[in-house]
Structure 1
Amino acid sequence: MRMMQLALPALATMVLVGFATSTPATARDYPWCAQGGEYDYPGECAYSTYEQCQASVSGRLLYCDRNPRFAYGQQPVPQPRPHRRARPVAPY
């Protein structure tokens, strides 16, 4: 009984710490969107390939189209990599 009294608050503390330190999921846009029906523009952009999108919209009165963020180049520009510094050549 004494172990249960100690274990329960410890477990509750671990659960609370887990919730406090978790980060929210980040949305990621994929190149293909399911559009039409119940989806507003640009739609459900969760497909890496056109075939994945087609399989998802089959029988749902939806259609697939390019994600406008990809089609019109509105995705963030990747940062250039820093230049590598060359080692000085030791004289012979």
Structure 2
Amino acid sequence: MRTSRLAVLVLGTMTLAGAASIDRASADPYDYPWCAQGPSLGYPGECAYQTYDQCLASVSGRFLACGENPRVLFREQLEPEQPRPHRHRHRHHRQ
């Protein structure tokens, strides 16, 4: 009995350690423009579709719909603006 408790404890610890090491980038390797959306998927949904037709084929027969990925739509607004490099304009004089 004690051995089985120890095994469950070790297995649980390993599972938690593995889950904690997953970052957002590796959990969501794709960020395509179309998402399958529904109550079971959360927001913004499963964003793994390059085209609307691909998304429609995937959600067919499921209690899901297709919507645009807000991370793709608003990517430019979410990314911090990079300072533009300063350029010197040189005037060339004819001699």
Structure 1 length as normaliser, TM-score? 0.51
Q: Any idea what SS the aligned residue of 2:43 has?
A: strand
Between the aligned partners of 1:34 and 1:49, the Cα distance in structure 2 is 11
User: In structure 2, what is the equivalent of residue 62 of structure 1?
Assistant: 64
**Structure 2, gaps ≥5 residues long:** 1-25, 83-95
Taking only aligned residues, the RMSD between alpha carbons, in angstroms, comes to 3.3
**Structure 1, gaps ≥5 residues long:** 1-24, 80-92
Between the aligned partners of 2:53 and 2:65, the Cα distance in structure 1 is 12
Identity of aligned residues (%): 59
- How many residues are treated as equivalent by the alignment? 69
What do residues 9-35 of structure 1 show as CA deviations (whole Å, max 9, x unaligned)? xxxxxxxxxxxxxxxx57121110000
Large movers: runs of 4+ above 3 Å: 74-77
Write the mapping of 1:49-88 to structure 2, written as runs, cut at 5 A. Answer: 49-73=51-75
Q: Which amino acid aligns with 1:65?
A: G
Structure 2 length as normaliser, TM-score? 0.50
User: In structure 1, what is the equivalent of residue 33 of structure 2?
Assistant: 31
